[in-house]
Structure 1
Amino acid sequence: MKLNKTFFYILLGSMLTASTVSCSDYLDTEPITDRAVPLSDTPYTKASEAEDLMTALYSDFGNEYWQLDYFFNGDAQADTAYTGGDNPQNMQQGEYRIIATNTNVARDWKYLYGFINNCNKVLNYVDNIADPALTSARKNEMKSEAAILRALYYFHAVQLWGDVPLVTKAVIGVNSENFEEVYSQVYPKRATTAEIYTQIITDLEGALASAPSASNKFKANKGFALALLAKVNATKPSPDYTKVVSYTDQLMTLGYSLVPTYDHLFDGSHEANAESIFEANGNGGNVWAWGTFMFVGNDWKKFNTPSNDVVKSFDDEGDVIRKQSSVTFDNVGWADNYWPSSHYPFMNKMRLTDGNQNFYVARYADLLLIRAEAKVNLGDYTGAAALVNQVRTRVNLPDITISSKEDGINKILKERKLELAFEGERWFDLKRTGKAVEILSNRKDGNGNVISFAKNINQNRLLWPIPQSQIDNNPNLTQNA
């Protein structure tokens, strides 16, 4: 389908503003004008406007995607948590029966493309600001931060949906010269997964030179770019484990170390610590951390109820330290098929209910284990075990050995499950290692019986459906199998 240019001008005139429109909103707006929108290369002219754009990038960590959905997607779709709550949209997700009209899925699509659009504003227009108060060095730093965050959001999107639209322009106007380009950005086709990963890596590699130093824990910094490059190269369809090792080599020169006391990672008194690579700042930053109320408290049944499986995993391993930091139990006013009311669990890492909860977008232990995974795939079993044992030593667990690739992947997956429970990682770990269907189809309840909904999982269910609302509004989109 190709729209007449005059009609497209009418549509675009109603959909674009100089600073506030997001690509997720384009197709939800009715035309209100018959005039073409003038094109400007300088919709922002002041240094203060550029700084406002940057503030918006970090304020995004205070919205629903990061406060609720990211953690739910990563754990309630895996074996570490049950859905909890009573929202039927969430239950579809937790039981592997998502349909294309699921409003949570539609919401996350809009959020991610809204975040991407905010990054595009910086990448497209900051260079054109002539205000002398905005130095070239600051412009380059801003663009690096925006490129790293755009890569992060495309990394989330490609893991959730596979082939997704690749939108790199924050469109603010249309004329006869840019019509074709604007059309492709407003009504994009799905790019291939390989194309998305190429863009992600290009953004991250290009950002390294001017990114903030690794000491800037609350910014998209050089260490975070390296961490993402390692995870992306471990996750893309044709993983490059040599590059994973290379990028973690560089990461290990930036002064990171494991915090000696595991609970200090989450107690709210050790923010921006040596293990933190990038964290959302809920204490004096741009983020009001309301999301803790969605996971902790006995006033209503919360989301991400810790599973019998994850509690058993802690107990079987004798992992008292991480269990205490990860799970807390309370006497509540409800019960379900998994837990009694007198001993009901809650995830405990997001525990501050005063709005000041910081949370990690990346931390060093995660990357040590990603490096171990790469070394297993490269045949360095001794080196991989040594990395896992660094993480285990902190919580007083005995060393492991690795005898084969399969043995190594299984042991690293288990270690990641215990180390990173309720940090939004497990679903993506299982998909990356090809273990999702095998493990999730055998999810058990507290009595050791396979849960009925576990039969719903299959290879197609490892990708979300494209939201039907997006397909209805964009004739160039196609649906997942």
Structure 2
Amino acid sequence: MKINTSIYYLLGISLLTTSVSCSNFLDTEPITEQQIDLTNPLKTATDAENRMNTIYNAFGNEYWQLDYFFNGDAQTDISYAGADNVQNFQQDEYRILATNSNVLRDWKYLYGFINDCNMILNYVDEINDPSLTSARKAQMKSEAAIMRALYYFHAVQLWGDVPVVTKAVIGVNSANFDEVYSQVYPARKPIQEVYDLIISDLEGSLANAPAGSEKYKANKNFAYGLLAKVYATKPNPDWAKVKQYCNNISGVSLLANYDHLFDGNHEGNAESIFEVDGNAGSVWAWGTSMFTGTDWKKFNVPSNDLVKTFDDENDLVRKASTIKFSTVSWSDNFWTSNNYPFMNKMRQTDGKQNFYILRHADILLLQAEAAVRTADYTGAAGYINQVRQRLSLPTVTISSESDGINKVLKERKLELAFEGHRWFDLKRTGKAIEILSQQKDGNGSILSYAGNINQDRLLWPIPQGQRDNNQNLTQNPGY
């Protein structure tokens, strides 16, 4: 059906093309007297495969190459902001403004990614191309559902209540105006409703998701692992579900050599559950240069606290894989120029750096957390000690829930530093304010900005630019 009237469509989302990039999914722009085809924008198997490529090619953009790692780690005790971007300093120092351009950028990215997933979920079944089998359609929908769940999981952890948009709107007429309006100008939905969608997407994906051996796709093991994290993070966590879904993951094991995880010679390894294939092709891993190199001061500068934690634990193996010290041409309030640290897990600068979205050690430590929360302290220690064993570190014991959570968090800090998890770990366990308010510099003095952290600052502000365009969006407290 074609219409010839005044319509609105989503700014930056071409009706028939494949990429949203930095465009703003929830902004609108009027177009008058245009003929808009409201039939399925995906006509052929090639159209559908191109849209799937768009979903995975997103791992090469700014959100995944830079912001994901910055958001997860620079806001915590393991790193300083680094570089010289004032927007990043706001994040690092818990004084974000609603006009922060990084916050707006990430909102746009996440809802753009969601739109690409919605295109598959909404339209792939309508394609009448004999070369696109029903089995392939079902797998595409499973992969898109897993990825949509991942992005909503990011959004709900960053902002709390967020809009739930499940339709890829391609046009509007009098018949679909009400539905389109609610998708283009959505109100925020309660956190529980967002988690309900995430869980529905993930559990619905399991029957047709790729096998866990397909580590570069949104696979079944990843869906299980993401479900475990979601059930651990949502309001009123369900630890039985966490245990169930962790136990459903199969065919993975810890690598014997920790550094093999990051050396570039063991990609798609036994420990990997889902990883990004940085291959200088569809995903050019340019982000490495944001974190390592002596040509300019990089982002996510390792903190004095992280170095001290490695040293206090005598954890030489993970320290060497995680942090690299170099001589540079600058110094700052934290480090001298002749011994300046860089994160070392993202170390390949040729565009071929792989990175993990989820790996087995993360799941083992999540199992430890679930065991602690259900008073299985012996079991919890066992999971932690599996991770420590490959490093020849002493075993731990756990005496109480508080002791167990502290030990889980310390192990996650050492094991997963600079993989984008710390901020969300601290929030999930209820330890963010307690730990981040006591951050210290190299002299043992509490950082001047540590006192900025409070309950309101555990969520980001809704971007002011979004609220200017959509009167249905309310603001988070404290902004």
SS of 1:111's equivalent in the other structure is helix
> Is 1:9–1:36's contact at 8 Å kept on the other side of the alignment?
no
Deviates more, 1:306-315 or 1:23-32: 23-32
Name the aligned partner's letter for residue 120 of structure 1: N
> Is 1:13–1:33's contact at 8 Å kept on the other side of the alignment?
no
| Alignment TM-score, normalising by the size of structure 1 | 0.96
1:65 aligns with 2:90: no
Pairs within 5 Å for 1:382-393: 382-393=378-389
SS of 1:271's equivalent in the other structure is coil
Q: Residues 338-374 of structure 1: CA distance to partner in whole angstroms, max 9, x if unpaired?
A: 0110000000000000000000000000000001100
Q: Residues 25-80 of structure 1: CA distance to partner in whole angstroms, max 9, x if unpaired?
A: 3565542313574421x211111111001100110000000000000011100000
Deviates more, 1:464-473 or 1:169-178: 169-178
> Is 1:13–1:37's contact at 8 Å kept on the other side of the alignment?
no
Deviates more, 1:175-184 or 1:222-231: 175-184
Count of aligned pairs between the two proteins: 473
Pairs within 5 Å for 1:269-308: 269-283=265-279, 286-308=282-304
Name the aligned partner's letter for residue 217 of structure 2: K
SS of 1:164's equivalent in the other structure is coil
The 1-side partners of 2:150 and 2:99 are apart by: 25
The 1-side partners of 2:38 and 2:31 are apart by: 18
1:469 aligns with 2:465: yes
Q: Residues 112-161 of structure 1: CA distance to partner in whole angstroms, max 9, x if unpaired?
A: 00000000001000000010000000000000000000000000000000
1:333 aligns with 2:329: yes
User: Shift of the alpha carbon at 1:13?
Assistant: 8.8
Name the aligned partner's letter for residue 9 of structure 2: L
Name the aligned partner's letter for residue 358 of structure 1: N
2:340 match: 344
| Alignment TM-score, normalising by the size of structure 2 | 0.96
1:167 aligns with 2:158: no
1:240 aligns with 2:269: no
1:155 match: 153
User: Shift of the alpha carbon at 1:163?
Assistant: 0.3
The 1-side partners of 2:4 and 2:91 are apart by: 39
Residue identity (%): 67
The 1-side partners of 2:25 and 2:400 are apart by: 51
1:101 aligns with 2:99: yes
2:399 match: 403
> Is 1:37–1:175's contact at 8 Å kept on the other side of the alignment?
no
Pairs within 5 Å for 1:113-132: 113-132=111-130
The 2-side partners of 1:255 and 1:26 are apart by: 38
Pairs within 5 Å for 1:47-446: 47-251=45-249, 254-283=250-279, 286-446=282-442
The 1-side partners of 2:196 and 2:380 are apart by: 27
Give the gaps of 5 or more residues in structure 1.
1-5
The 2-side partners of 1:410 and 1:14 are apart by: 46
User: Shift of the alpha carbon at 1:237?
Assistant: 1.0
How has the CA–CA distance of structure 1 residues 319 and 107 changed in structure 2, closer, same or farther, with 3 Å as cutoff?
same
User: Shift of the alpha carbon at 1:19?
Assistant: 2.6
The 2-side partners of 1:285 and 1:229 are apart by: 30
Deviates more, 1:382-391 or 1:26-35: 26-35
User: Shift of the alpha carbon at 1:446?
Assistant: 0.5
* Bigger fraction of residues in helix: 1
How has the CA–CA distance of structure 1 residues 438 and 27 changed in structure 2, closer, same or farther, with 3 Å as cutoff?
closer
The 2-side partners of 1:479 and 1:141 are apart by: 38
Q: Please, what is the CA RMSD of the aligned residues? A: 1.7
The 2-side partners of 1:184 and 1:174 are apart by: 12
1:454 to 450, 458, 478: 450
User: Shift of the alpha carbon at 1:99?
Assistant: 0.2
